[in-house]
Structure 1
C-alpha cells in the first residue's frame, strides 16, 4: 500500500503512539493457543508471571449469534496481574465492531485479530492467514474495525502465505497505519504450518524497518533462548507457546526469579489448576484439562511415555492428582529436561 512517508519517531513519540505495550508486566508473553489458553489456563499463567495473556481463538461470528459456548471463551479472570486480550477471527469487519462492547464488558484490555491461523476451515472463509494475501484490503479491514471500537486493537500474523509470497512488511505497514498497537509475528508462512524453523532473521528485519511495536514468536523452548532472541532481534517482546506448556516456570526463569528448585512444584501447579477448573467446567472437562497439564509437565522425564498412557485412562480427578503426585515426586531429584528449538512437540495451534 502507498502509505505516506513519515519522519522517524523518537522514543517519547513511540510511547505516545503505542501506549498499550507500556502496560505489559514484562516482555515474556504467553502465546495464544487454540483449546489451551482458556480462562483457567490464562489465570494459571498469570500467577506464573507471564507478561501478557491472550485468549484462544474466538469466532467473531459466534459472538454475533450469541453462542453460549463462544461467550464463555471471552471471560476474563478477576484482578489479572497484567494485560489480557481476546483474540478474534472472522471475515466480516462489522462483526468485530458488533462484538467489541461484549469483549470490553468482560474486562479485556484489547482485541487481538488473528491473521496467522493456517487451518483450512479458517482460511477458506478469508480469515486467518488469508487476510495477508492483500495488504491494501487488510489495511481497509483493520482501519474500519479500529475506527469503530473503543478497545485498542492488535494483530498476530505470519510472515506471509508462502516463501514466494512474503507480505509481512506490507502487512505490518497496513496494521501500523490502521492504528494497531502492536504486531505479533509467528516466523513461519501459512504453507509451513508448524513445520520447519521460525525465521527470526526476518522478524528482526521487520523490527528494524518499522516503529510499531513488534512481538516475535516461534521455536522458543527455553528461557535462555527467549532472552537471547529478545536481545538479538530487537523486538519489544517475545511470545512463548508450546515451550510454556511443558515448562510453566519459563516466565519466572526468563525474569531470573526462579530458584534452584521448582516453585510452585508440578504437583502444586496441578492442584492449583484443579482449583481454577472446578467452578468453571464439568467433571469430564476438568479431568481432561488436568490430564493434559500433567503429561505436558512430565514430558522429557524418564517414564513420561508410560505416564502419559496411564494418565489418559484415569476417569477421576482424585486419581489424576494421586498418580501425578507419585510421578512428580519420583522425578523431583532429577535435572529438568532441556529441549531443542527444532524438536517436534504439540505441532498445532492457531497462529
Structure 2
C-alpha cells in the first residue's frame, strides 16, 4: 500500500474547480496526459450525510445524499490518481468524510484558498487563512486519521514572510504537499499571478509545492507548463481554467481542436450519466466566445443529455450506451446478484423480486408477514416506500420487531416493492411466505390458500374474503414518496409517506 501512495513531485494536475471537476472532466484530463486530477470542492456537512453505493450499472462508486443526489462519483480508471477536495472548518467532521472516501481515492485535500462566499461560509476556504490554529488542527487530524496522503491548497498572504510562516507551519502537520494559488484572497483571475511568492514558498519547505494560478497570463499551451514551473521554482503545476477551456493543454503532443475535446467530454458524460446541467455548464465553458453560436444556443436550450447529444450529432452513441446500461440493469434485476442477506447501514437487504405467478391468487408474502407478527404478538409490519425519478421504480423498507428489511432491487409498482420487502423479512427470519407448492404452515387459514372453490355461492364468499384481504393490505400502505433520482437538488423537498 505504501508503494502505491500518490506522489506530488514533478506532476501536472487538473485543479479543483466547482461544477467542472466532476468525473467526465477528470477522465478527459487523464486521457490527455494529466498525472493527477482533483474533484470539485465538496462540503463536509453534505458529504458526511452520504452513503457509499456501488453502482453496478455504471461501474462506479457513488456517494449519495439522503435526497438521492450523487455528491461524488468515481471509478476504477482514476482510483490511484484522483484527489478528493473538501471544504471544512471542523477537524472531526473532516476526518469523518475522509474516512468515508479514503478507500476510493488516492489522496485528501483541504480547500484553504477559495475566496467565494459559498466556500468561505462557516470559516471554510480562504477564511481558514486567518486561523492557522484551525488549519493545523484539521490537517493533523487528517494526517493521523487516514492511510492516504493529505494535502491542502492555499492562497498567498499579504506578505511573503506571512506566507512562508504559514506554509512552514503546515509542513509540520505531516502533509504530503501544498498547492499555492499565487494571488491574494481579494484578487481575481484578471490580476497577475505572483510567481515570486510561490518561489519563496518552494524554497522554504521540503515537501512538494504545486504552483497554481498561471492559466490566463502564463499557460496557454502545453509547452508553457514547464515555463510556469521554472518561474515559480515549484515541484509541480496545477491548471484550472486552461484545462477547463481545452483539456488537451495536458497533451504533450500538442493541442486538439476544442470541437473534438467537447465530443470526447460529452461521451464521458453520457457513459457516466452525468447531470445534464453540469454537462451543459462544462460545454459552455469550452465554447467560450462561441456560446452564442447556433451550437451554443442549442446546448443552452437542452434539458437532458439526450438533447445535448442531438446537438453534437451523438444520438447513436447515446442510444447505444442506454441500451448497454439497460442490459446490465436487466441482468441485475433478474437475480444475478447473490441471493443472501447484506447489511446496508441499519437495513438487512437481499436481491429479491416479487414474482406474482409464484403465489396463489389469494396469497401474498405481506399477508404471511402480518399473520406471523400477530401470532408473535408484535406490532404489525411498518412499510416505507420511495420512488426514484429517473425510471419511476419503487423500493420499500419494512420494519418488524425494530429491524429493517429491504430488497436491493427496484420494482415497477409500490405494491410489488412492499411484497419484495416482506419476502426479504420472511426469508431472513426463516418464515414461510406462501409460495405455490410450499408446505402449509398454518399461518394463513386454508380457505385463503384454495385457488378455486366449488359452487357459485362459495366462490362469491371467497371473492369477498379476497377483497377483505386486499383492503386489509391497503390499510397498511399509503402513497409512495417520490425522491430525487437525477443527481440534482429538486425544486421542492420530497415528502416521505409511511404505512404500517
Q: Identify the TM-score tier after normalising by the shorter chain.
A: 0.7 to 0.9
d(CA) in 1 for partners of 2:239, 2:138: 28
Counterpart of 1:42? Answer: 26
SS of equivalent to 1:33: coil
- 1:137 CA drift (Å): 4.1
Superposition pairs of residues 186-197 of structure 1, within 5 angstroms: 186-197=181-192
Judging by fraction of residues, say which structure has more strand.
Answer: 2
Larger radius of gyration: 2
- 2:125 is the alignment partner of 1:128: yes
Query: Is the contact made by 1:138 and 1:174 (CA closer than 8 Å) also made in structure 2?
Result: no
Equivalent of residue 103 in structure 1, options 92, 101, 104: 101
175-184 vs 39-48, which deviates more?
39-48
Q: Runs of 5+ in structure 1 lacking a partner?
A: 1-15, 327-351
d(CA) in 1 for partners of 2:305, 2:233: 44
| CA shift digits 1:193-228 (9 cap, x unpaired) | 444122112111211222111000013241233221
The structure with higher relative contact order (CA 8 Å, sep 6+) is: 1
Counterpart of 1:237? Answer: 236
Distance 1:61 1:167, change over 3 A: farther
Equivalent of residue 77 in structure 2, options 56, 76, 79: 79
Q: TM-score, normalised by structure 1?
A: 0.73
Distance 1:120 1:315, change over 3 A: closer
- 2:268 is the alignment partner of 1:273: yes
SS of equivalent to 2:172: helix
d(CA) in 1 for partners of 2:223, 2:75: 30
- 1:154 CA drift (Å): 0.4
Superposition pairs of residues 109-148 of structure 1, within 5 angstroms: 109-148=106-145
Equivalent of residue 321 in structure 1, options 309, 313, 329: 309
d(CA) in 2 for partners of 1:275, 1:100: 28
- 1:179 CA drift (Å): 0.2
- 1:48 CA drift (Å): 2.2
Counterpart of 1:152? Answer: 149
Equivalent of residue 292 in structure 2, options 305, 315, 331: 305
Counterpart of 1:329? Answer: none
SS of equivalent to 1:183: strand
d(CA) in 2 for partners of 1:126, 1:290: 30
- 1:42 CA drift (Å): 1.5
Query: Is the contact made by 2:6 and 2:149 (CA closer than 8 Å) also made in structure 1?
Result: no
Counterpart of 2:227? Answer: 228
172-181 vs 33-42, which deviates more?
33-42
Equivalent of residue 294 in structure 1, options 283, 288, 311: 283
How many residues matched? 294
Q: TM-score, normalised by structure 2?
A: 0.53
- 2:160 is the alignment partner of 1:169: no
d(CA) in 1 for partners of 2:17, 2:93: 22
Counterpart of 2:424? Answer: none
- 2:200 is the alignment partner of 1:205: yes
Distance 1:171 1:21, change over 3 A: farther
